[in-house]
Amino acid sequence: MSSKFHGVFSLLLILASVIIAAGYLLGNFTGWGLVYLGIIALTNPIVLYSYCAKCLCRADACSHVIPGKLTRLLPVGRRGPYSFWDYLATALSLATLFGFPQIWLWRSKGLFVLFWILVTIALVEILFFVCRTCRNANCPICSIN
């Protein structure tokens, strides 16, 4: 299977986990669910800007496909090595995206487990199938470094 399959599949798994969390929050804790929707709306553009926009593969070889296309909407000139601030913004965004709903998901053990199974499979897909074929020399995980 191609790295594009694994890239899109991993994004769909992450999307499914976020939808599960958002759905549970909105259905049971509406205010916090709305906060989580705001977090989703903020963290994705931050990751796109801080990490994806500096990827050397984003224009034509993005294995995740969609983020690569979305970076075309961002300002030009984000090329070069990742800075401490790029890593920090990306890490905090992802930690917030995945961490925020945990307090509430824990109340539904089945959804909590399902959320983390989906996220874990997505991370395995990314690390073992997407990163291994990526040619983004700016990325510290890239196999060509």
Give residue-wise pLDDT tens across range 10-28. Answer: 999 999 999 999 999 999 9
Residue 28, in any domain of the structure: yes
Parent domain of 101: 3-133
Q: Is residue 123 part of a domain?
A: yes
Closest alpha carbon to 4 in 54, 44, 53, 60? 60
Confidence at residue 140, expressed as pLDDT on a 0 to 100 scale: 79
- For the chain, state the CA radius of gyration: 16
Q: Domains in the chain: how many in total?
A: 1
pLDDT tens, position by position, 36-91: 999 999 999 999 988 888 887 777 777 888 888 888 888 766 677 889 999 999 99
Q: Which of the four pLDDT bands, split at 50, 70 and 90, describes residue 124?
A: very high
Kindly state whether residue 36 falls inside one of the protein's structural domains.
yes
Query: Nearest Cα to 21, choosing from 90, 86, 115, 113?
Result: 115
User: For residue 107, is it within any domain?
Assistant: yes
pLDDT greater than 60 at residue 3: yes
Using alpha carbons only, give the angle 37, 47, 39 rounded to the nearest 5 degrees. 15
Would 44 be classed as within a structural domain? yes
Does 33 reside within a domain?
Answer: yes
Q: Is residue 140 part of a domain?
A: no
Q: What is the mean pLDDT of residues 111-136?
A: 90
Handedness of CA 130, 131, 135, 136 (dihedral sign): positive
Please tell me the least confidently modeled range out of 7-11, 40-44, 89-93, 99-103. Answer: 7-11
Question: Is 16 among the domain residues?
Answer: yes
Q: Which of 13, 67, 10 is nearest to 43 (CA)?
A: 67
